[in-house]
Amino acid sequence: MKIEHFAFNVAEPEAIADWYCRHLGMEVRRRIDHAARTHFLADSSGAVMIEIYNNPADQVPPYPDMDPLLLHLAFVSRDPEADSRLLVSAGARVVDEVRLRDGSHLVMLKDPWGFSIQLCRRGAPMMNS
């Protein structure tokens, strides 16, 4: 099986979808303008999607209070240092930065709504390009 998408219940799906498209290179593949205001966002490969929505039937998790190790969305980055500077200038904040002996460089950030995102440059890529 292949993963189609991973879904996040959020408070402001329109604003988050716009920010992820402008600053993380995602693209809206489907938008549903009913009560949940659902946005399916594809990454630049077109092979991975996330779903951003607001479903009032359940709570929005307290993302700002959650440790990034509990939940985060990781993006491949050729230059995590430069990309993190751009994201910080767009309202994100750096939480942690790690350089591993294998050459990997990982930067953990919180987006402007407090959701954890990670920028990854692996010493040995784990995914097919």
pTM over 0.85: yes
| Whole-number Å distance between alpha carbons of 106 and 100 | 8
What's the CATH number for 1-59?
A: 3.10.180.10
Q: Could you read off the pLDDT of 25-80 as tens digits, one per residue?
A: 999 999 998 889 999 999 998 899 999 999 988 999 999 999 999 999 999 999 99
Q: Examine domains 1-59 and 61-129 and report if their fold is the same.
A: yes
What's the CATH number for 61-129?
A: 3.10.180.10
**Structure confidence at residue 126 (pLDDT):** 83
Q: Per-domain residue ranges for the chain? A: 1-59, 61-129
Q: What percent of the chain has pLDDT over 90?
A: 87
**Structure confidence at residue 115 (pLDDT):** 98
Burial call 15-50: b when 16+ CB within 10 Å, e when fewer = ebbebbeebbebeeeeeeeeebbbbbbbbeeeebbb
